[in-house]
Amino acid sequence: MPVMTRPGERTVARQILAWQLVVVFSLVVGGVALAWLNARQVSGDAARDRVGAIAVSVANSPTVRAALSTRDPSTILQPYAEAIRRDSGTDFVVVMNTKGIRYTHPNTDNIGKKFVGHITAAVAGKPIIEEYAGTLGPSVRTVEPVRDGDRVVGLVSVGITTERVQHQVVAALPPILIAAALVGAIGALGASLISRRLKKQTHGLGENEITRMYEYYDAVLRAVREGLLLLDQQGRITLMNDEAKRLLGVDDQAIGKDFASLGLSPGLAVALASGKPLTDDIHLVADRVLVVNHASANWQGRGVGSVVTLRDRTDLQAVTAELDTVRGLADTLRSQNHESSNRLHTMVSLIEIGRPEAAVEFATQELALAQQFTDRMVQSVDEPVIAALLLGKMAQAAERGVKLTFEPDSSVTGIPLTPADAVTILGNLIDNALDAAQGAPERHVSVWIDSADSFFHARIEDSGAGISPADRDQVFVRGWSTKPQEGGIGRGLGLALAGQAVRRYLGEITVTSSGMGGARFAIRIGQSRIEQADS
């Protein structure tokens, strides 16, 4: 969807770019300042080391000691000192006596004059290193004693003016500035590239737009009545609203996990992993019947994952089961009405042809069969919903040419589950048995129920083809069915719903082979009277 930024409002990318440039500029300026200070420190230290080393060398020179013992030391020492000054790059090399009277100086007018500076410690035999303003200006200087044996016979001062040291620092500044410019340029370029990428990632939105978008989207996610999941291209959950958490029975810890790893519904996990679109596909998740839609999500032609919506159909499924029961009763009444009409016409025809005895025998025979099943229902089943269900299934079986028997030792004095769940369990299992038996040479379905307020046991057997041991683990999984659709894809919802309903009451449902040749489904919820007595 297109996004708009308010006029005059800077995007997040531009704001971050500005801050990054400020940081880069501050770092560059700080780096230049530190480099300048370091250069000054290094130059000062180098000047001190240099003048100190030269002063020691001159003070230890035999030429200097010999000249100091002559009547006119300047004649020998002045050219010697000037040569050392020029060669070493220092500003002055001054040789003096212990009273500070100069014998040498770059300015010959100062020869014979008193040295400007401190010499007391040097006269005592201790070198001096200091910064002092002399006749040539401020300088870094060393005063070194000249010894003849144990006696101090003279002093040597070597110095470099502060101006020369500063020139050396300035000479080091261009490389520093060039390096700073390169660092600043690289930092600005990097900030620009990051800003461009960030602008693309945030779609050019400002901070207020991002905040409002988050608030709007969060409100929408909480307002919709459907569960909503967003999956990335690897099938991991990246977003889910509160309704999706409720329907799936998970919390925020599921975010970031693969849907299949949640262990909720293997069938749904396989369907989502296939990447194929789903439209109103029904799946069982925990104790819920969910209608699932799945579609891929794309942004500007690029796949970014998929969207899954979930609708709760559990209550609707229960209502549908009750509606099926009502419809079955209606079918029963329609069938009985049709059969009664046929029997009535038959009896009238027998009377018309002069066979009243045959008419009476025919009427009482059919009435006895119907009354026998009805009486059994009245005697054994105290639950009207189950009685109505069985009567309806009896009529359906008769229409389909299947013999449905209700075992005489059955007893229903109560049920520990809701009528809707009872209809779901028995209705789907009997329907499955009728479908299986309809294709068999001997069409027969047997129903046995033993139920009270604290337990519910039932057994449904058929004479159909049965279920192979290899398929029995998949019978109650959504998608498995004995009635394939086009392409061999089973419908597989009825048995799955029955299994789900049984497990909801911590019961057990199993499938084995029947002595009638087909399948035998057994349901156990709670302990029977005999089991309770034994325990």
- pLDDT band for 438, please (50, 70, 90 cuts): confident
pLDDT at site 447:
93
- Tokens standing for 14? 């531009």
Give whole-number Cα distances, 423 to 412, 415, 444, 503, in Å: 14, 11, 21, 15
pLDDT tens digit string along 452-510?
988 999 999 999 888 888 888 778 776 666 665 444 333 557 788 888 788 878 889 99
- Tokens standing for 397? 């079986």
- pLDDT band for 524, please (50, 70, 90 cuts): very high
pLDDT tens digit string along 344-355?
777 778 787 878
Query: Which residues are CB-contacts of 119 (< 8 A; sequence separation ≥ 6)?
Result: 96, 98, 100, 128, 143, 155
Residue that the structure tokens 């891929």 belong to? 296
Residue 158, helix vs strand vs coil: strand
Q: How far apart (Å, rounded) are the C-alpha atoms in residues 220 and 303?
A: 23
pLDDT at site 2:
46
Quote the mean pLDDT of the chain.
Answer: 79
pLDDT at site 328:
59
- Domains in the chain with CATH codes: 59-165 (3.30.450.20), 224-312 (3.30.450.20), 317-534 (3.30.565.10)
pLDDT tens digit string along 164-192?
777 776 776 777 778 778 877 787 777 77
- Tokens standing for 223? 């307002």
- pLDDT band for 202, please (50, 70, 90 cuts): low
First to last CA, the chain: 67
Long-range contacts of 162-168 (CB under 8 A, 24+ apart): 162/131, 162/137, 162/138, 163/137, 163/138, 164/47, 164/91, 165/40, 165/43, 165/44, 165/47, 165/140, 168/43, 168/46, 168/47
Residue 61 has pLDDT above 70, yes or no: yes
Which stretch of 75-79, 320-324, 523-527 has the lowest confidence by average pLDDT? 320-324
Residue 326 has pLDDT above 90, yes or no: no
pTM of the model: 0.47
Stated as kind and residue range, the H or E segment containing 365 is helix 356-380
